[in-house]
Amino acid sequence: MSVDLSGAEWFKSSYSGGGQDCVEVAFVDDAVGVRDSKNPTGPALVFTPGEWDAFTAGVREGEFERP
């Protein structure tokens, strides 16, 4: 999926504590962009809203927790 993220408003989670080792997220049109906060001009991953919803639901449900 190709999406223009040049005008996106990126943000970090309030849980990031202001550090530099974070990801940033931007909601644009029908897509969600995710990028490394240490490399804001680098590549970004792009997801559909449905993919993003599935990911965040998995996080809330502990799907990605290590045993």
Sign of CA dihedral 27, 40, 52, 46: positive
pTM greater than 0.85: no
Question: What DSSP character marks residue 14?
Answer: G
Extract the tokens encoding 12: 């970090």
Q: How confident is the model at residue 10 (pLDDT cuts 50, 70, 90)?
A: very high
Give the start-to-end residue ranges of the domains of the chain.
Answer: 14-60
Q: Taking residues 29-41, what's their average pLDDT?
A: 92
Q: What is the pLDDT of residue 22?
A: 87
Q: Does residue 7 surpass a pLDDT of 70?
A: yes
The pLDDT score that the predictor gives to residue 19 is 65
DSSP 42: S
